[in-house]
Structure 1
Amino acid sequence: MKRIWSAPKSSGRRSEILGNLLGVSPIVSEILVQRGYEKPEEAIEFLHPTLLNLNSPFCFCDMRKTIERLTLALKRQEKILIYGDYDVDGVTSTTLLYKVLIDLGFQAVAYIPHRQDEGYGLHAEAVERAAKAGVSVIITVDCGITAVAEVIQAKTSNIDIIITDHHEPGQVLPEAFAIINPKLENSGYPFRDLAGVGVAFKLAQALLQSLGNLEVGIQTEMYLLDLVALGTIADLVPVVGENRIFVHYGLRQMEETNHPGLAALLEECGLKDKPLKAGQIGFMVAPRINAAGRMDSARAGLELLLSEDPERASELARQLTKENQMRQETEKEILAEAVSLLEGKPLPRVIVLSAENWHHGVVGIVASRLVERYYRPVFMISEDGDEAKGSARGILGYPVLEQLSQQAHLLTKFGGHRQAAGFSLLTKDIEKLREGLNTQALAFDEALFQEVLRVDSLVTLNMVSPELLRQLEQMAPFGLGNPGPILACKEIPVHSLGAVGKEQSHIKFRFGSKGEQEGIAFRIGERLQDLQEKQTLDAAFALDWNTFRGREDVQLMIKDVQPEADWTDPFIKDTKADTYQEIAATLEEPEIEWLDWRYMPRSEWPLQKNEGLWVWDNRGSMPTLRLGNDLPNSDNSPKSLIHDKHLDGNEQVIVKQNLGMILGLPLTGEDFKEGVEKFRELGIFRIALAGFESPLEERVRQRCCFISRDELVQLYRELQTKSKTANPFIWGGNQKVSQAQKAALKIFEELGFIQCLGGSDEFFLKWIPAKNKLELDSSSRYRLTKERFDEALKFHKELLNTVLKVL
């Protein structure tokens, strides 16, 4: 199926401003703006992830309760069972929590159910065995949120169950001792997209902060992040927010992992002593662990990651490679059968396929392959007599779990995510499920089932360079929610092309009049003849390094190539400024009438009775827009206002007499412009400047988040002194680290003088002796806040001494 190409509308001036502040290519700044990082401070935090930005694990409402129970279990030396899942997320979650509990002195055992014999989730038989073995606490990882009956059974056996999970909860929650799941409506946690291993890490983090000490745990948080990254990448959760931080640092930690099993697996994949990327982990490392759980038992993968014996770890890594090869062969066979069932027939909106001989552990992967091939939601089902088990994969805009839930009357069990789910049903109901899902799919717009290739930027071939690739790499790690940037060139001259690979299934290109640029397209070998006839091609591609004999060149990793691509309204310029100018020109928007009440006492403000008034109030820590009900000499009750349509989720109000007030001296020019823009949106063009007092420089500094050089030097010396006693060391102690101190730590980390190893209210820091003189301006964080502070002081001087006629 031919894909349609789509490009975002240009952000114009916004990306230009961001690019100038960050010192990056217009291509990179445009992509940052398109992905929601328009504000420089947000872009900097994105480009420079830091563990200092992790949320406290105690944001979870049930976390303190959980730590109290586990502290008691440690004191009593009660038996704790960690109950996991058989995929990579579950195996890494189990490994991580087990290692932390053992290091802290707990009596813990780990258990992962068998996919074929037991299936997903907490099972009654396992609870019964745990009770007989004297287990007092069961901690589920990457499962348990739907185990209502099993939790009741555990309570009758005097077992406390602590659920850590990230799957969508059902309408009825288990009556567990505690539930730690960011997707709970009232979880208390600000980031809902953690993988199962991310949730397990938050519990481990809380344990280390509560029960760890200088001998146990001070460096462990960082050392756990390789496991967190592995599970997060494998589970295909969005690589944004905390997940981005986990993967960024986890990949670094993986390169020098202290887990012998993971080291052996990396060596088996040919990745030892190499810089690691998320894609390599997702396509080479994770499938080997998954293969164990898919083909037989996940316990080999768990033993590998828990192993402290390098020889045994190498043996297990080889075993997982063999199982992965078996999985690949089985996958090929099932995929071929599935394709044969679909070829030559009209393609349904939702693909639902089933057969008796399909391996249940592999159908999920095949479903993903079919989604790639046909761009349809796919439900693959393995029949086993009267019962059947299936896996589903979705497309953008098609909520798999929600669609499955509408067929709950046909299912014996189901659960999962928006884009992937597992389910069970009776074999006789498969046809009803097929009909039901396709009937439901008629409610979606037909365009949903047309694959669109989203291009981040249209470029020319001479824009492709090593420097551009280096800047794009700053946006890594890539994955769901932060895909690798895709560029596109139109009408590229084709110098040569030819099939390559064992089965001649790939095509290598030389582009440019002299063949100066190389490109490679995978799995399109059948298109060779058609493409050979073209002198120019449209190509959409990512960039990567091609290393050969010590030389590094930029290579185009082609995602799609067409003689002439079909576009959906590409490259339309649509900035806020341009849009405003067009509207203003159409409506003949009036100029602003400025009323100068800056130095006038409040009692003398000439407000008219019943005059509706909006106030842009700059007296707090952040400016706010509100009605002026509490101002002297005014009657601004809601009765004097006419309600109209919504504005930013609140009712827009049109006043009888349009008057706006900028109250208090805005701390920055951005604050002032934002207030004026809000008045324009309300149709207000009479604006009074009132209550101006020159703010204290310290308040301006705080608003701009600026820390002076002297303050930084003082903190630098304090950290250096602290490191001489112990390195790494705890910073914070009994006194919580302030926002200003945290901002300073981020600057030092960006400059390479410290490394944060973990923590939330207090931090584990490693001091790195400076080799060169401290150059604060090389920190983008410091440079940005200093520029803002200087601009704010300049703006205040102008605003206090100038009469404004127009904006």
Structure 2
Amino acid sequence: MRWTLKSKPNPETVSAIKNALNVDAIVATLLVQRGIDTYEKAKTFFRPSFEHLHDPFLMKDMDKAVSRIESAIANNENILVYGDYDVDGTTSVALMSSYLKTKIQQVATYIPDRYDEGYGISYKGIDFAHDNDFTLIIALDCGVKAIEKVAYAKEKGIDFIICDHHRPGETMPDAVAVLDPKRSDCNYPFKELCGCGVGFKLISALAQKDGQTPEDLMEYLDLVATAIGADIVPIVDENRALAYLGLQVINTNPRAGMKAIIAEVKKDELTITDVVFIIAPRINAAGRMKHGNHAVSLLTETDFNMAAQYAVDIDEFNTDRRETDKRITEEALALIEKNNEQEGYTTVVYQEDWHKGVIGIVASRLIETYYRPTLVFTKSGDKLAASARSVSGFDVYNALEECSDYIEQFGGHKYAAGLTLLPENYEKFKAKFEAVVANSIDPKLLTPELKIDAEIGLNQIDQRLYRILSQFAPFGPGNMSPVFMSSNLRDTGYGKCVGEDDKHLRLTATQKGLGKIVAIGFGLGDKCDLITNGKSFSAAYSIDENHWNGNVSLQLKLKDIK
């Protein structure tokens, strides 16, 4: 790993915030690094609330979307709520359909089949709407590039409202309203909402017209917080408030489906990290292994016993997903070794029988090994479909845009995207993608970076510091859990490898005259020789609490040692 120590912020600013908040210099430094340099900003950061949400009508086309939905309700039209099959899409559909059903009964949901229809709005979905007399489709987490499909729907007398957060193309679809904060002509003050977040702004606007406030929509925020965590959007500004409030719902009064998932995993209080690694994969597993409809059924079910049955089914999908992605990852690694393709700037692999539902996960796993912009392809009908994942600091979406001559369709974000192409273009695309990345990537980005907030002594670590750092949560992009480093450490002599295959490292670190503390390094078993025989070493770590036999103590959660 490449360790990067963040530059120290302006000492006067640090001193001012330290005095204003009556905190240690280290806490003040961390706050200023995050752009929190006044008392008012600190108050907003530590006490996220509904007051910090922006007026939904600041979003371009919001008035048009609300007017069209009010008209549909007044005229008893049939409304189809359409969304993608991943977590952001299914939570969006659950949120929108649940809310609309409090106003009108003629509301149905539609999730495209990953294998039959692919990502986003499909002709099959529009035909379903036409055959069943739906006159309005509200599309969530997709649609901003669906120009031909929205035009096709219009020919059939079906209106579209699009709620998306992906980058638009040069032309907007001819929809009644296109809600997307990333539109160049949209002045909404926060650009990084997830799809479910945009959906929440739409129901907030509808509620506002009825004289309600966002507080009246609290029950929907467990869905929004789950989508924020799963879609890896920055947890800053409005997302921080939505995630913070949503976690309160998850931990105190979650909807039946969430409650059923949490009961399966038996954890008392969930953090955003738990949402990402416990709730989100289970919701995602439905769309990956079976159909996204199962996730929507779970998230909209009000009877706990029914929800519990759905949760059991989804847990089985998740088990299947884990086994499948493990097998395909092993096959992909073997293929890369066999073809001797470890040396380039990219990782691109293809096998026609790989499960389309897990290729995105496999791409992420390959990055763990080779740390390159990565694409994993499989056969999908008469085309090849791929999931792309990138390394920190490199925009894979832009790279794909430069390869568009060989691509049929693509969409996504800076770090994750999906695409399809014709089989005859695979080798040409692969060569072009390698050339584009080779010419544009900074070579240092091919080594994982460990960003360190500050260097501290072990004597600065105490319960008060940990208590304040805990209030920095929820953590995520834009507000990662603080990482520290300490130098001139030694093990007390009892450090050892632990766990299956000695994969992990456990030691007690001491620093001359500055105390000692237990440290655990998951996956760092191969670094054991760095700490033996009284050798001096440096450690990068976060501060964690260890609960054992009723005792609670602080420990270091090691990220790396040198």
| Fold shared by both chains (TM-score > 0.5) | yes
2:501 and 2:198 map into 1 onto residues whose CA distance is 43
| C-alpha separation in 1, matches of 2:341 and 2:414 | 28
* Bigger helix fraction: 2
Q: In structure 1, what is the equivalent of residue 482 of structure 2?
A: 485
Structure 1: distance between partners of 2:303 and 2:60: 39
User: Residue in 1 aligned with 2:436?
Assistant: 440
Corresponding residue number in structure 2 for 1:83: 82
CA distance in 1, matches of 2:138, 2:381: 34
Shift of 1:10: 4.6
Matches within 5 A, 1:263-662: 263-271=259-267, 274-343=268-337, 346-384=342-380, 386-441=382-437, 442-495=439-492, 496-512=494-510, 516-529=516-529, 531-533=531-533, 535-562=535-562
Give the aligned partner of residue 33 of structure 1. Answer: 32
- Aligned letter for 2:69? L
Q: Is the contact made by 1:377 and 1:393 (CA closer than 8 Å) also made in structure 2? A: yes
Does structure 2 conserve the Cα–Cα contact (< 8 Å) formed by 1:492 and 1:536? yes
What SS does the corresponding residue of 2:440 show, helix, strand or coil? coil
CA 1:335–1:6 in 2, change beyond 3 Å: closer, same or farther? farther
Question: Partner letter of residue 456 of structure 2?
Answer: V
Equivalent residue letter for 1:448: L
Q: Per-residue deviation at 1:44?
A: 2.4
Structure 2 CA distance, aligned partners of 1:130 and 1:312?
A: 28
What is the Cα-based RMSD across aligned positions, in Å? 1.9
- Classify the secondary structure of the residue corresponding to 2:384: strand
Aligned residue in 1 for 2:171: 172
Structure-2 change in CA distance of 1:218 and 1:430 (3 Å): closer
1:403-449 Cα deviation digits (max 9, x unpaired): 10111111111000111100011223222222112211223332232
* Separation of aligned partners in 1, 2:392 and 2:5: 14
Please, what TM-score do these two structures have when normalized by structure 1?
0.67
Structure 1 unaligned segments of length 5 or more: list them. 563-807
Identity of aligned residues (%): 37
| 2:110 maps to amino acid | Y
Any residues of structure 2 matched to 1:591-740 within 5 Å, and which? none
* Structure 1 position 156 matched with structure 2 position 152: no
Which residue number in structure 1 is paired with residue 53 of structure 2?
54
Deviation at 1:338, TM superposition (A): 2.4
Q: 1:127 and 1:268 mapped to 2: Cα distance?
A: 37
CA offsets 1:186-242 (integer angstroms, 9 cap, x no match): 1231111000000000011111122366xxx88541111111000111000111110
Q: Distance in 1 between matches of 2:254 and 2:529?
A: 50
Q: CA deviation at 1:529?
A: 4.3
Instruction: Kindly state the Cα deviation for residue 373 of structure 1 after the two structures are TM-superposed.
Output: 3.0
Query: Quick one: structure 1 residues 511 and 257, their matched pair in 2 at CA, closer, same or farther if it must change by over 3 Å?
Result: same
| Equivalent residues of 2:491, 2:509 under 8 A apart | yes
Decide whether aligned partners of structure 1 residues 401 and 477 sit closer, same or farther in structure 2, where only a CA change above 3 A counts. Answer: same
Alpha-carbon deviation of 1:502? 3.7
Q: Flag the structure with larger Rg.
A: 1
Q: Is the 8 A contact 2:346 2:372 kept in 1?
A: yes
Equivalent residue pairs, number? 556
Partner of 2:417, secondary structure, is strand
Residue by residue, what CA displacement relative to the aligned partner does 1:668-695 show, whole Å, maximum 9, x if unpaired?
A: xxxxxxxxxxxxxxxxxxxxxxxxxxxx
**Contact (CA 8 Å) 2:458, 2:511: kept in 1 or not?**
no
CA distance in 1, matches of 2:530, 2:32: 37
Which moves more between the two structures, 496-505 or 242-251?
Answer: 496-505
* Residues 494 and 511, structure 1, Cα contact 8 Å, conserved in 2: yes
Contact 1:89–1:231 (8 Å) recurs in 2: yes
Tell me how far 1:395 sits from its aligned partner: 1.8
2:115 counterpart residue number: 116
Would the alpha carbon gap of residues 11 and 372 (structure 1) be closer, same or farther in structure 2, given more than 3 Å must change? farther
Counterpart amino acid of residue 252 in structure 1? Q
Note the C-alpha offset of 1:372: 3.0
Tell me if structure 2 keeps the 8 A contact 1:353–1:381. Answer: yes
Q: Which runs of 5+ in 2 are unaligned?
A: none
What is the distance in 2 between the residues matched to 1:526 and 1:89? 37
Instruction: Give the match for residue 599 of structure 1.
Output: none
2:69 match: 70
Output one character per residue of 1:453-481: Cα deviation in whole Å (capped at 9) or x when no partner: 11001011111111111111121110111
CA shift for structure 1 position 386: 4.7
> Structure 1 pair 241/219, CA: closer, same or farther in 2 (3 Å)?
closer
Structure 2 distance, partners of 1:39, 1:212, is 34
Distance 1:383 1:529 in 2: 45
In the alignment, the residues of structure 2 paired with residue 28 and residue 400 of structure 1 have an alpha-carbon distance, to the nearest angstrom, of 35
Taking the aligned partners of 2:271 and 2:10, their CA distance within structure 1 comes to 30
Residue of structure 1 in register with 2:99 after alignment:
100
Q: Does the 8 Å CA contact 2:490/2:531 hold for their aligned counterparts? A: no
SS of the equivalent of 2:408 reads strand
Q: Distance in 2 between matches of 1:219 and 1:490?
A: 48
Aligned to 1:680: none
Q: Partner amino acid for 1:409? A: D
Task: Tell me by how many angstroms 1:21 deviates.
Answer: 0.7
1:514-565 CA-partner distances (Å, limit 9, x unpaired): 9941111112333334543553321101112111233221121111112xxx
- 8 Å CA contact 1:74, 1:106 repeated in 2: no
